[in-house]
């Protein structure tokens, strides 16, 4: 359980969370922000696995993509809400 929580926390505070949020804030289309965040999650997992799919764990990849997707969507929502104020 602690391993799972550590993986989620590391992704939220790591590249998928921060860069996904930043890329999401660069667009006004919700789907594009989510896709950009998910791509960051995939790339981050591959970079730390040495670009070898044999070293990529499915759970880690799934969590990374999910966190990037949520962060990108949140970034787009922040941009949309900030633009209307």
Which residues fall within 8 angstroms of residue 49, CB to CB, at 6 or more apart?
55, 56
Q: From CA 7, how far away is CA 84, in angstroms rounded?
A: 35
Q: What tens digit of pLDDT does each residue of 35-67 get?
A: 999 999 999 999 999 999 899 999 999 999 999
pLDDT of residue 85: 63
Give the pLDDT score at 77: 95
Q: What are the φ/ψ torsions at residue 26 (nearest 5 degrees)?
A: -90, -5
Residue 53: how many CB atoms within 10 A of its CB? Answer: 9
Within 10 angstroms of residue 41's Cβ, the number of other Cβ atoms is 30
Q: What digits encode the pLDDT tens for the residues 13-29?
A: 999 999 999 999 999 99
| Residue 1, pLDDT score | 85
């Amino acid at each position: 359980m602690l391993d799972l929580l550590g993986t989620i926390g590391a992704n939220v505070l790591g590249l998928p969370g921060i860069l996904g949020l930043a890329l999401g804030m660069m667009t006004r289309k919700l789907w594009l922000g989510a896709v950009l965040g998910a791509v960051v999650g995939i790339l981050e997992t591959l970079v730390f696995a040495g670009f070898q799919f044999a070293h990529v764990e499915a759970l880690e990849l799934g969590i990374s993509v999910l966190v990037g997707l949520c962060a990108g969507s949140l970034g787009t929502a922040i941009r949309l809400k900030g633009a209307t104020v």
